[in-house]
Amino acid sequence: MTAYLNALGVICALGHGKAEVTRRLLAGDGSAMQPYPQPVAGRQVPVGAVTCTLPSLADFPQRHATRNNQMLLAAVEQIEAELHEAIARFGPARIGVVMGTSTTGIQEASLGIAGLARDGHLPASYHYAHQELCAPASFLSERLQLSGPSYAISTACTSSARALLSAKRLLDAGICDAVICGGVDTLCDLTLQGFSALEAVSKRVCNPFSANRDGINIGEAAAVFLMTREPAPIALLGGGASSDAHHISAPDPQGLGAIEAMRQALASASVAAEQISYLNLHGTATRHNDAMESLAVATVFPGGVACSSSKPLTGHTLGAAGALEAALCWLALSDCNRTRLLPPHRWDNEEDADLPRLNLVTDGTTMAAAGRRAMMSNSFAFGGNNISLILGDAS
């Protein structure tokens, strides 16, 4: 059964709202990548921060008072009319919420625990619910007064891509008539220090697939879709998931799980590899991930495919990355992109001779003028968790 992506709200380092994000995405504008305010392991590192003013949560209970929920609300407010129309049509019990996250409100929780260590008591602003992984989904359900299924998924960097697949299953099973799905993650000291401890953070803007790549940049984002069975121009055509369990934090060097996820996605969408117009690479700019992904992509697409990584523009938004990068494909397919440009790949153009050569998108590259369009988005996570999604023209 086809699942249609009827509406999208998005906020990230590229901007607030569909128009601004599309404009800067297609221009390859990475100017939002700026130094994190505090040193990380003694170094200044660039991050993909959201700098616009976020909605206030002053009217909500303290348990919801996190930057994560503020960013989620900023995305949801963009599609408020579509959400309320769906609630009126289907009823609150027939609308589900599935959100992906990995940080949730851990920054607020960390500050509270630091206050306990410093002062001997927790600050009044602390609430245990801030750090619960279900917090974004609970917040949305409460705010919109929904009583349908509501839960969160946290599988590291595949969390929100998996949320879209889970939302489609709720529709396919007849449990829901509409699902609000996507992901949100915000910058926090714990994440930055953790990835730095793994020696995975670059002190420069990340450089995916370059011979000089040396690690990731962390970012923050929220991307929220309204998914229904009601026809819309853009659909979730298919998806694939695998778990190769190669290593807790390193990918399978042969890319077997990634290959399986991409091939599953193509099969479920009834799309051949040569029919994919564009591939949004996971493209973290770590040595191992890029090596694995380039091998996997070359295997699945022996004839090549136009591709790029958006992480030099947004940072790696972790639990929000799957939904955000699906959203970037949605924007490239939508009326927001009247030029039919593909998102360019930003790097230093220094090829790694040990990697299969990829067809990395350059400035001004456009989609084919005719035919049904389909785009793939890859997300790969710790533990060998792999997701590939295919979005495209509904007909």
pLDDT in tens, 278-337: 999 999 999 999 999 999 999 999 999 999 999 999 999 999 999 999 999 999 999 999
Provide the 3-class DSSP secondary structure of residue 151: strand
pLDDT of amino acid 245: 85
Check whether 370 has a pLDDT greater than 80: no
Check whether 251 has a pLDDT greater than 90: no
Q: Tokens representing 372?
A: 């049904």
368 pLDDT band, cuts 50/70/90, is confident
Q: Tokens representing 2?
A: 């086809």
pLDDT in tens, 135-147: 999 999 999 999 9
Return the closest-CA partner of residue 318 out of 104, 147, 151, 38.
Answer: 104
Check whether 247 has a pLDDT greater than 90: no
pLDDT of amino acid 246: 82
Check whether 183 has a pLDDT greater than 90: yes
Residues marked as catalytic = 157, 282, 316
Amino acid at 52: C
Return the closest-CA partner of residue 330 out of 234, 265, 211, 240.
Answer: 234
Mean pLDDT across the stretch 233-256? 91
pLDDT of amino acid 250: 81
Check whether 369 has a pLDDT greater than 80: no
pLDDT of amino acid 193: 93
What stretches of the chain adopt beta strand conformation (E)? Answer: 3-12, 15-16, 33-35, 46-48, 95-100, 150-153, 178-185, 218-219, 221-228, 234-243, 278-280, 306-308, 359-360, 374-381, 385-393
pLDDT of amino acid 1: 79
Place of tokens 């793939």: 376
- What integer best gives the mean pLDDT of the chain? 96
Mean pLDDT across the stretch 68-81? 98
pLDDT in tens, 193-230: 999 998 999 999 999 999 999 999 999 999 999 999 99
180 pLDDT band, cuts 50/70/90, is very high
Q: pTM score > 0.95 for this model?
A: yes
pLDDT in tens, 41-72: 889 999 999 999 999 999 999 999 999 999 99
Per-domain boundaries in the chain? 3-393
Asked if 100 contacts 161 with a C-beta cutoff of 8 angstroms, the reply is yes
pLDDT of amino acid 233: 97
Specify the CATH number of the domain 3-393.
Answer: 3.40.47.10
pLDDT of amino acid 341: 98
